[in-house]
Amino acid sequence: MTHSTPLAAAQDLIKSANSILFITGAGLSADSGLPTYRGVGGLYEGQRTDEGYAIETALSASMFKHRPEITWKYLWQIGSACYQARFNQGHAIIADIEKNKPNTWVLTQNIDGFHHQAGSKNLIEIHGRGERLYCVACDFESTAEQLLANYQQTISLPPHCPQCGGLIRPDVVLFEEMLPEKALSQLYQLLDTMPFDVVVVVGTSAQFPHIQQPVVLAKQLAIPIIEINPSETELSVLASYHLRGGAAEMLNASWANE
């Protein structure tokens, strides 16, 4: 079958697929008004923190161990940028596609929890979710919302556990840290079988090997790859079709065509 445009080809592939793997990054959440950050650090990409650290250092496991107040200062700023933002039409369309095609999966590098909010169930949040907080010393768990509610105006960072006084941290992957075991094993299971008819890469330039790997594998297995991104990326060369535009707009155009 020949198609007049990449969009028409993408519409056809998405419509006829039984199972789709969506790989999503900051570009998808940019449509919710979030800055396109690299991992948890890109709000400050290329800049130094007030203390003169690279953001990767401020948001690293070793900084959190020795000077948690510094790590928390920047976690807090990133959290504030995400606060009150919510999922957008792009997340909603991906969740809707999963409802129609139950073997659809999402692999995301975003920590904003928007796929979860939008209703995606087959979801691998490979860098964790910032909204979930836990104590490093005991079994206490909380949410960012509860933390904000309890702290009101005066916030003393780092926050401490109300049960044991231990440090509270968000359930995200800091620099130098391993990826979460459960998410990794889910990812490897998918990579083992690669049961997808189409892979759609949305709003990520895939600087992370664990984001790149499934795309490379899809290419090797001749699974069609659709890239949704306003700019050229390292992955563009692997993609069968490029939709050059915003994530929500292009997902909408690819799906709402009936």
In the complex with Zn ion, the residue whose CB is nearer, 137 or 194, is: 137
88: left (phi > 0), else alpha (psi -120 to 50), else beta?
Answer: beta
Q: Which residues contact 155 (CB under 8 A, 6 or more apart)?
A: 76
In the complex with Zn ion, the residue whose CB is nearer, 61 or 137, is: 137
Q: How far is the CB of 158 from Zn ion (least distance, A)?
A: 13
For residue 27, the tally of other CB atoms under 10 A from its CB is 23
What are the distances in angstroms from CA 212 to CA 95, 100, 191, 224, 235?
A: 22, 26, 12, 15, 8
Q: Which residues contact 129 (CB under 8 A, 6 or more apart)?
A: 111, 112, 113, 116, 170, 171, 172
Active site (annotated) includes residue 91: no
The rounded distance, in Å, linking the Cα atoms of 83 and 34 is: 9
In the complex with Zn ion, the residue whose CB is nearer, 102 or 162, is: 162
In the complex with Zn ion, the residue whose CB is nearer, 160 or 219, is: 160
Which listed residue (115, 127, 210, 242) is catalytic?
A: 127
Which residue in the block uniquely carries the two structure tokens 């949305």?
A: 202
The rounded distance, in Å, linking the Cα atoms of 23 and 25 is: 7
Nearest alpha carbon to residue 22 among 196, 183, 191? 196
Q: How far is the CB of 164 from Zn ion (least distance, A)?
A: 3
Q: How far is the CB of 125 from Zn ion (least distance, A)?
A: 23
In the complex with Zn ion, the residue whose CB is nearer, 164 or 256, is: 164
For residue 200, the tally of other CB atoms under 10 A from its CB is 29
CB 10 within 8 A of CB 226: yes
Name the residues that contact Zn ion, by CB under 5 A: 135, 137-138, 140, 161, 163-164, 166
Query: Would you please indicate which residues are annotated as catalytic (active-site) residues?
Result: 127
